[in-house]
Amino acid sequence: MSNLLSSLRVALATMAICVAGYTAVILGFAQALTPTSANGSLITNDAGTVVGSRLIAQAFSSPEYVWPRPSAVDYDAGGAGGSNLSPANPQITARAQELISAHGGASVDAPIPADLVTASGAGLDPHISLEGALFQAARVAEARGVEVSAIERMIEERAVTPGGPFTAGRIVNVLDLNLTLDADLAAPAASQ
């Protein structure tokens, strides 16, 4: 009986300090110092509408935009997940073939970067590889009626090494890049 009473008292104490107290401290710290990232790194347009989150991939299928990696959950940021397909699963092959043709084909001499045909862990990877972005530059340039080199330059400017010296490749944030494309280059509909 004294065991139960003591257990309840300790439960109450840990609940008050490790749950209520700790959450309040970290919440206060985050909301005071980094309110933007604390609330999900949301991006708002001039009209005040939330257009997405810097950290969350969204679907792109129009030719004038750079496309993200495929998503096993169709970019559902309210129910994220990976494909969980085993490495030899034929569904991975079928998906890759579909994406290769959607991207206008690839060949042994000009292969498609692997990140563009593999689903990420959460289905919301906000990045693609620099090579994956450059692979799409020609399509975007044609759709927007500009030189390929202009698109390539914009992509290069936005490529970062995520871990500095500790990571090998460079990556590009897709939403960030597409917002810049819209801001700097008129979409074909607007230019005519």
Residues 68-87 that bind other proteins (CB under 8 A): 69, 75-87
CA distance 87 to 83: 11
Q: In the complex, what is the shortest distance from the CB of residue 70 to other proteins, in angstroms, rounded to a whole number?
A: 10
Footprint (CB under 8 A) of other proteins, residues 162-181 = 162-169, 171, 175, 178-179
Residues 96-155 that bind other proteins (CB under 8 A): 96-97, 100, 106-108, 110-115, 117-129, 131
Instruction: Give, in degrees to the nearest 5, the angle at Cα 178 between 59 and 65.
Output: 60
Quickly tell me which residue has 């597409």 as its tokens: 178
Quick check: helix, strand or coil at residue 172? strand
Exactly one of 46, 48, 90, 192 binds other proteins (CB under 8 A); that residue is 90
In the set 46, 48, 61, 192, which binds other proteins (CB under 8 A)? 61
**Residue number, 18 or 138, with CB nearest to other proteins:** 18
Question: Least CB distance from residue 47 to other proteins, whole Å?
Answer: 10
Distances (CA, A) of 134 to 62, 74, 109, 118: 16, 23, 15, 17
Q: How many residues in the shown chain lie near other proteins by CB under 8 A?
A: 105
Taking each helix axis from N to C terminus, what angle separates 174-184 and 148-158, rounded to the nearest 10 degrees? 130
